[in-house]
Amino acid sequence: MHRAAAAFGPLAALIPVGLVATAVLRPTYALLSGISMLLTLAFATSYDNAEIARYYLGPTLIAWTWLAILGGAVVMTLSRTVGPDDEGVAGPGRDPRAGPDPIIALGLTAALLLPTAFALPNRLARVDRSADVEAREWVDRALTTMSPGALIVSWWSYSTPLWYAQPIDLGLGDVIDVIDANLPNRPVYVIRVDPAEIAALERRYVLDYIDGPDARALTRVVSRREVGE
């Protein structure tokens, strides 16, 4: 509900009405889009392991199509009720097969688009990332810090910028498998976020926290811990 209110403002309350209008006027599309939205929302609300906001773009687009169909229905209804027909007859005498009155259609279009037009400058300022160089600076700092030929067991948000700078190995097993296979032969660095996984790494390895207090930031795996250490 908060996401819908943020994305649609007052129009959020009309989304269920738009779905009903779509079900009446375009039942097959209502079935397809309704199931698609339901499945996407169910996945997005249950998957809290990453930046998930972008997954709501599909449902947002679907909701806009419902509102568009509702708007078209309103225009047609008003045109048939108050607009003149081809012979100048207004109101109930208008031919129901006639298209929407252009003036009514343009008025409703302006009513829907003007709030968005006024909000565009503030929205642009919020989403503009053209000056955000944090990822580039992190990659430069990390690659300068790490030893040559190192293997990096990273977390998604950190891995993504590294993909543009280094070869990445996949399908090598879990975190422990990868570290144990490479630790004797090359430097190994980790960046993890799961507290249970971090605790397991701390129990199994001697860690050197380079960029923070624990393995949630860039950390070097120094060696396996000795028994009882």
Closest listed residue to residue 12, CA positions, set 72, 59, 80, 75: 59
Does residue 229 belong to any structural domain of this protein? no
Would residue 206 count as lying in a domain?
Answer: yes
The answer on pLDDT for 14 being more than 70 is: yes
Please tell me the distance from the alpha carbon of residue 20 to that of residue 23, in angstroms, as a whole number.
5
Domain region containing 220: 134-224
- Global pTM reads 0.52
Q: What is the mean pLDDT of residues 182-189?
A: 91
Segment 138-159 shows an average pLDDT of 86
Residue-wise pLDDT tens digits, 57-110: 999 999 999 999 998 888 788 777 665 555 554 445 555 555 556 777 787 778
pLDDT of residue 90: 47
> 145 and 104, same structural domain?
no
Provide the pairing of β-strand 205-209 with 219-224.
antiparallel
Q: Domain ends where: 96, 127, 158?
A: 127
**Do residue 114 and residue 179 come from a single domain?**
no
Give the residue with greater pLDDT, 97 vs 2. 2
Number of domains in the chain: 2
Average pLDDT over residues 135-164: 86
Beta strands in 130-187 (DSSP E): 151-153
What pLDDT does residue 188 have? 94
Q: Is residue 88 located within the same domain as residue 181?
A: no
Please identify, among 98, 127, 156, the residue that sits at the C-terminal boundary of a domain: 127
The strands making up 151-153's β-sheet, listed across from edge to edge, are 151-153, 188-190, 219-224, 205-209
